[in-house]
Each structure stands twice: as structure tokens, then as C-alpha cells.
Chains A and B, each alone.
Chain A
């Protein structure tokens, strides 16, 4: 059976490396992935105001598309899309009046949404459906000696109704890295916020966060940091020059998507990795461990 895949806007733009590495590594795991037809923006941030029904339209439209693909669940690898889609889904399942309003507004849709689709994150799928033991069997190029700091940020672990791991000390990514043959390092800053959208109007706030978070990874002698969110990736990677200006002792470290390390360990080609899209080039760090 095919697994419906929702990429999201940024995976088709700046984070194409996340998209191609997701698709390639799933193929290596013998999971047939099909991109959701006619998907639209997830809404990006969950509408926290209880009376804001309008901003639940975009996520619900995607859930309708999943039903139209004859599926009852789908997977996304973007942490932000996962969080927004899952929270909107939980919300409309709990509030029949809001769902009724949304269905009425979307009257041109042939399919009505009835709260009958499940949202999965790729990490959750790998852990619970594929299994890290089975995943380890597919490794052709183990990440031996590679020290990896796993960064979760906010959206995979908060709020608790969307979290698929512990809010304060999640381990799912560390277990994935171990299955790939790598060495996850302790990382006290792994669930600290990166500064999110302040990267647009107040990049100095993000530079301060980047300095603190990446500095913690460097203290643990990490070779690189892995993430699941394209906004975290942008902030922690592209704002490193600003962090260096803030703190002359700042040490540059590459930031990769967890799917890129999977694709690397599964022996996928360069087109599935797209290391050319990074600000801090990951190749020297990987080459130092004999992986590039």
C-alpha cells in the first residue's frame, strides 16, 4: 500500500534537500511514497485564538485531499507542517461547530471532512511502522564515528497532544542515528526554540538563539546537528554568520536534515542529498569521518 506524503511549501523551495532525501530514503526502505495530489499550504502556524476558524481552512483542505486519495492517514517530514496539520485536526475533531462552519465554507468541495484522517510525522512512522531494527538492516554505509547532535526544537514535542516523544528529553532521532551507525551526543539545548519567525524582522534574536544552541552542540564535540524543521534549519544554518558577529568564539557547524543522513547511510546518490543547498558545507565534516 502506498503512503501518502505531504511535502509542504518549503520542501519545494529552499529545503529541496529535505524533499529529495525523504523520497529517496523511503524508496530504500521499500515504502512506496505518493505525493498528495493538489496539496496546499498547511497554514504554517496553528491558529491559537479559539474563535479563529478561518485559519483552520487550509489544513482541513489538505485532510480532504487525503480522503480523496482514498487514504485514512498521511505522512509529512516537515515538523512545522506536522504540527499545524495535527493540531488543526485535533481541534476540529473536538469542536463539531467549528468543523461544521469549515465544511459549509468549503461548500465547493465534493468531499466533506469528518475528522477521519490521521497525521503522521516521518520519524513516528520510521519508529512505529518500519522499526529501527529493520531500518538498520538497510544501512550500506554506516555513519561510524559521526557525532550527531539531534535538535527537535518546538514543533515535534509541544504541545503534548501532538508530541510523539517526551517533551523534555525526546530520543526518537537519537535512536535513528544509532540505527544508522552514528553516535548521538548529549544535547541539553535540543528542545530550545530557535527564534522561529523573528528571522524575518529581528534576526538578532535568532543569532542569539543560534549561538546558544549551536554552541551547546559544539561543546559536546558534535560533528553536525540534525533537524526536522526547515525554519530551524534556516535559522541554525544561515544565521551562523550573525552568531559569529555576536560571539567571536562561535564555531561553525553544518546543519542537516535527518533524512539526509538516512539517504547517506542507505547509499543514495548526490542528487538525493543536495549538500549544495546548505550555507555551512557539510562535506568537510562528513569527509573527516570518511563519509564523503
Chain B
């Protein structure tokens, strides 16, 4: 039986990687995978791909995998990862860049539809909750 190992999606230095670095302002190759970001992440239990794994996938330019993770919508930019990274990488900015790539591509693939909320929920939620959710999850 022939076994084929396909590494064709791995493109370090691709335009996709360059775009993540441009939007986030971060040098992805500075990460040495210590895992501290994932260890302290309060949202990690709700993520399918952990923050350190997101950075690794970003280094390798695995676009399709990254842009379809649940994780990028779970991150709330609490900055715990940024604050503890020994390499001063702003991981939250990388998550923001990935969200922006999905929200900016013109397909209006929003992750929150305010019309689906009940009038009771809309009445009770403070403006700070509604605006921050729409800023993070809608184009």
C-alpha cells in the first residue's frame, strides 16, 4: 500500500502569511511554541484549536484550516495571552487578523444576527454588550 504525505498546503512566507503579519503587526516566527498562551486562556475549553496551535498553523500558512476554526470566534481579546507571552507576541492581534479576513471578504458571513435575539434579550442587554459583540462578530 502506498502512503502519500501531502504537505502542499504548507506555505511559509506565502501572501496569506504576510497578510496575517501585516494586519496583526506580529512576527509569527518569533513563537517557539511554549504553550503559555493556551495554558492561561480562559476560553480554551470552548476552542477547537488552541491559541498556540493557531500560531503554528499561521506560521505554516494553513489558510483553510485557520479561517474555519471555531476558536477565532471564541476568543474575546481578554489579552491574557499577550500579557504572558515570553516572546511578546500579541496572540490576540493574530486572532483579530483572522476574524477580519473572514469578515472582510465580502460574503457578509456574520457570526451574530441581532434579529434572532428575543426582544426581551435585546431589552436587557446593555449597550456595551451589544456593541462589543457586533464589533467582534459582524462585518
Contact = CB atoms under 8 A, between A and B. Distances in A.
Nearest to B104: A49
A145 interface: no
A65 interface: no
B112 A193 contact: no
Nearest to A279: B124
Contact of B111 (A43, A78, A201): A201
A276 interface: no
A205 B78 contact: no
A51 B42 contact: no
A70 interface: no
Contacts of A159: 79, 82-83, 90
B110 to A, nearest CB: 11
Which residue, A158, A160, A230, has most C-beta atoms of chain B within 10 A?
Answer: A158
Contacts of A50: 22-25, 93
A220 interface: no
Interface stretch (A6-14, A32-40, A115-123, A280-288): A6-14
Interface string A203-225: 00100110000000000000000
Contact of B124 (A10, A230, A238): A238
Contacts of B78: 154, 158, 193, 196
A80 interface: yes
Contacts of A44: 127-128, 131-132, 135
- Which 6 A-B pairs have CB atoms at the shortest separation, nearest pair first? A193-B78, A158-B79, A48-B96, A197-B133, A200-B133, A14-B126
Contacts of B93: 48-50
B97 to A, nearest CB: 6
B4 to A, nearest CB: 38
Given A48-B77, A49-B97, A199 B43 contact: no
17 contacts: A45-B135, A48-B77, A49-B23, A51-B23, A158-B83, A159-B82, A159-B90, A160-B83, A192-B42, A193-B78, A198-B74, A198-B76, A199-B125, A201-B112, A205-B74, A231-B129, A231-B132
Given A13-B126, A45-B77, A201 B137 contact: yes
B135 A55 contact: yes
Contacts of B100: 49, 52
B79 A205 contact: no
B96 A197 contact: no
Given A159-B83, A200-B112, A49 B24 contact: yes
Interface string B74-112: 101111101100000010110011001000000000011
A41 interface: yes
A167 interface: yes
Interface in A148-172: 154, 157-160, 167
B136 interface: yes
Q: Is the interface of B mostly helix, strand, loop or mixed?
A: helix
A230 B126 contact: yes
A44 B43 CA distance: 20
Q: Is the interface of A mostly helix, strand, loop or mixed?
A: loop
Nearest to B101: A49
Contacts of A184: none
Contacts of B124: 14, 238
A195 interface: yes
Contact of B126 (A10, A43, A158, A202): A10
A48 B131 CA distance: 16
A34 B23 CA distance: 39
Contacts of A202: 46
Contacts of B6: none
Interface in B43-73: 43, 45-46
B76 A196 contact: yes
Contacts of A157: 83
Contacts of A52: 100
A132 interface: no
Nearest to B122: A200
